[in-house]
């Protein structure tokens, strides 16, 4: 049977966490019949949608890409077919990874500099 588009939280989580430099995927899947089209645009700007190939803020859904901090933000995901439209917000966080012992030493190195400059 025909059905309007639907964006459920389990298929399009409202909070997504990426690690900077890693291959990540924007997770969002729409349900409906006929199969809905889906696009997500940063800050709700249609010019930043996945169809805007020249946009730096373009973020295709379901396609692996290297995470950059500039991609962090709020995305408006919109699914549509002949029967209607559904929308959902996705907040994308891009975190820097403190890797292994180097990250651990870097963390304490920052405190060492702070301690010297702070008069400790």
Question: Going from the N-terminus, what domains does the chain have, and what CATH number goes with each?
Answer: 3-117 (2.60.40.10)
Q: In whole angstroms, give the CA distance from residue 81 to residue 90.
A: 20
pLDDT of residue 54: 41
Are residues 23 and 66 in contact, defined by beta-carbon separation less than 8 angstroms?
A: yes
Q: In whole angstroms, give the CA distance from residue 111 to residue 61.
A: 40
Q: In whole angstroms, give the CA distance from residue 19 to residue 99.
A: 11
Tell me, rounded to whole angstroms, the distance of Cα 62 from its chain centroid: 11
| Residue 84 reports pLDDT greater than 70 | yes
In this prediction the pTM is: 0.71
Residue located via tokens 């295709």? 60
Residue located via tokens 């901090």? 69
pLDDT in tens, 59-73: 889 999 999 999 999
Are residues 65 and 75 in contact, defined by beta-carbon separation less than 8 angstroms?
A: no
């Amino acid at each position: 049977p025909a059905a309007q588009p639907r964006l459920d939280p389990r298929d399009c989580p409202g909070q997504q966490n990426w690690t900077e430099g890693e291959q990540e995927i924007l997770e969002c899947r729409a349900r409906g019949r006929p199969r809905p089209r889906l696009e997500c645009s940063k800050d709700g700007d249609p010019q930043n949608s996945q169809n805007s190939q020249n946009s730096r803020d373009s973020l295709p859904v379901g396609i692996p890409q290297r995470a950059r901090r500039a991609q962090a933000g709020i995305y408006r995901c919109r699914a549509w077919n002949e029967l209607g439209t559904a929308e959902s917000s996705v907040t994308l966080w891009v975190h820097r990874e403190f890797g292994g012992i180097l990250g651990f030493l870097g963390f304490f190195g920052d405190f060492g500099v702070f301690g010297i400059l702070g008069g400790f």
